[in-house]
Amino acid sequence: MNKERAWNLLKEISFVRVSGTAEEKRAAEIFLKAAQDAGVDAVIEEFETENAKVYEASLEVLEPEYRKYPVIGIGKTAATADEGVCGGFKYIENGLDANLTDIAGKIVLVQGRVMPELAKKLKEKGALAYILLAGNIYEEDSIRNELRPTNAFGTSHEIPGVKLHMCDGEELVRSRPEKVRVILKTEEVKQPSWNVVATIEGTDLKNEVLVYSAHYDSVPYSPGSWDNGTGSVTVWELMHYFKEHRPRRTIRFLLCGSEEIGLVGSKKYCEAHQEELKDVIFNINFDMTGVTLGYEHVRCSCSEDTMHAIEHLAKVEGFPLDAKLGMYSSDSSSFAEAGVPACTFARLAPRGGAEIHNHHDTMDRLDPDSFMTTLCFTAKLGEQIANAAVNPIPRKFAQKVTEEMEERAKMRGTDKKDKTADKQEEKKD
């Protein structure tokens, strides 16, 4: 494996590459060319995303004193009429039932996620719109307006939603407004996105498949060097390694588009390749590696035995690894809920360290030696799986994983019985 080659590729794709944009496609083409130049079979698979386009979003205090706050619209929530909605104001904190008394005709401010169940209650109780808090109260001014665009969680919400920075939310509550107005002009749109898939066919056990994956898209404002340029380049450097060390089992190297809008690329891959998934024995996903100050973590959406086997190898190799069972809000979850045991490796920063989802996510906080440490360990792990005499990964899930999956399905308002196996968790909010 070549540190210089990997770092040069990371530099090349460290630009803003948002789902469905020409920049996302440009990044996909860079990865495709790198695979082809290495002599590896690779293709770009286009898929359709269902997203939301926000044309206008505003929040104004009309009484007792006029003030306008910067907000962004939440996609897949209800649009307002041109004149918006006007009403009283109430801060409903976490949206518990005791907070929801007397909200008819009011615009409410809420912290935390607005789940489908809460959105339904707000609508039923007569709330006109909701304002969602985001950001960090101690953030520097240069990133306060870089609120991450999001869609309604779970199903579309029948009530307009906008997102407000935490600092402005604090000021809004203290000002005790009597009348506020929200305007939201939005519509749901369909647009293309792209997965990049490279394949190295195995030798005598080629009908069994190991999948390495990572997402390569970023959020607005962010060059996405750490999240998730590092993960994508990790997968492509592993591709180079296994090109030179051909495995017994087939290995697919999957770079997913549109992860940042809800794991869409990996979900679409699993849907399009549903019949092939019966042959996929394990998915090793990467979401942020190589940060200078950080710690190695793996979230295992698989059996407890598999997690312990990964821990065992880490101890043998002297690789300091924090391992936990559960679901993770990254592309491993799409494989797990499609019935494929999976895990996500990440090198996570301590509180106060490197940041993601803003313009600070550059290569300045990254270290090529830390990057190579994770890369080398996961190459060893993949090599043992791909070359094992017998498939060592049981196709089952720990109870904790199943429970988290069921809880996530409930939160999203989806029917767990319609899913093959498991669900997911959260990351990087």
299 and 393 inside one domain: yes
**pLDDT tens digits for the chain (429 residues)?**
899 999 999 999 999 999 999 999 999 999 999 999 999 999 999 999 998 999 999 999 999 999 999 999 999 999 999 999 999 999 999 999 999 999 999 999 999 999 999 999 999 999 999 999 999 999 888 888 899 899 998 889 999 999 999 999 999 999 999 999 999 999 999 999 999 999 999 999 999 999 999 999 999 999 999 999 999 999 999 999 999 999 999 999 999 999 999 999 999 999 999 999 999 999 999 999 999 999 999 999 999 999 999 999 999 999 999 999 999 999 999 999 999 999 999 999 999 999 999 999 999 999 999 999 999 999 999 999 999 999 999 999 999 999 999 988 887 766 544 333 333 333 443
Q: Quick check: is 171 in a domain?
A: yes
The distance in angstroms from the start CA to the end CA of the chain is 33
Q: Are 42 and 198 in contact (CB under 8 A)?
A: yes
Q: Quick check: is 58 in a domain?
A: no
Among 126, 142, 177, residue at a domain's last position: 177
267 and 393 inside one domain: yes
Q: Are 264 and 190 in contact (CB under 8 A)?
A: no
Q: Quick check: is 74 in a domain?
A: yes
pLDDT confidence of residue 424? 31
213 and 361 inside one domain: yes
82 and 154 inside one domain: yes
Per the structure, the complete domain to which residue 288 belongs is given by 3-51+191-418
Among 147, 177, 207, residue at a domain's last position: 177
Three-state secondary structure of the chain: CCHHHHHHHHHHCCCCCECCCHHHHHHHHHHHHHHHHCCCEEEEEEEEEEEEEEEEEEEEEEECCCEEECEEECECECCCCCCCEEEEEEECCCCCHHHHCCCCCEEEEECCCCCHHHHHHHHHCCCCEEEEEECCCCCCHHHCCCCCCCECCCCCECCCEEEEEHHHHHHHHHHCCCEEEEEEEEEEEEEEEEEEEEEECCCCEEEEEEEEEEECCECCCCCCHHHHHHHHHHHHHHHHHHHHCCCCEEEEEEEECCHHHCCHHHHHHHHHCHHHHHHEEEEEEECCCCECCCEEEEEEECCHHHHHHHHHHHHHHCCCEEEEECCCCCCHHHHHHCCCCEEEEEEECCCCCCCCCCCCCCHHHECHHHHHHHHHHHHHHHHHHHHCCCCCCCCCCCHHHHHHHHHHHHHHCCCHHHCCCCCCCCCCC
378 and 258 inside one domain: yes
- What is d(CA 160, CA 188) in angstroms, rounded to the nearest whole number? 13
As given in the structure block, the two tokens for residue 323 are 């391992």
From 229, 286, 218, select the one nearest 23 (Cα to Cα): 218
250: number of Cβ within 10 Å: 21
Q: Quick check: is 225 in a domain?
A: yes
pLDDT confidence of residue 419? 36
Q: Quick check: is 257 in a domain?
A: yes
Residue 94, preceding bond cis, omega within 30 degrees? no
133 and 207 inside one domain: no
117 and 236 inside one domain: no
> Amino acid identity, residue 402?
T
46 and 94 inside one domain: no
Q: Are 424 and 337 in contact (CB under 8 A)?
A: yes
Q: Is 138 exposed, middle or buried (0-12, 13-18, 19+ CB in 10 A)?
A: exposed
Q: Quick check: is 326 in a domain?
A: yes
- What is d(CA 409, CA 194) in angstroms, rounded to the nearest whole number? 26
Q: Quick check: is 319 in a domain?
A: yes
Among 129, 151, 177, residue at a domain's last position: 177
Query: How many angstroms separate the Cα of 148 from the Cα of each of 165, 209, 231, 330?
Result: 10, 36, 20, 17
- CATH number at 240 reads 3.40.630.10
From 230, 227, 232, 200, select the one nearest 213 (Cα to Cα): 232
133 and 196 inside one domain: no
Per the structure, the count of domains in the chain is: 2
As given in the structure block, the two tokens for residue 28 are 């996909």
139 and 282 inside one domain: no
34 and 70 inside one domain: no
- What is d(CA 172, CA 107) in angstroms, rounded to the nearest whole number? 12
> Amino acid identity, residue 35?
A
Q: Quick check: is 45 in a domain?
A: yes
202 and 342 inside one domain: yes
Q: What angle do CA 325, 331, 334 make, to 5 degrees?
A: 80
Helices 368-387 and 304-317, axial angle in degrees (round to 10): 120
- What is d(CA 170, CA 102) in angstroms, rounded to the nearest whole number? 21
Residue 160, preceding bond cis, omega within 30 degrees? no
- CATH number at 87 reads 3.50.30.30
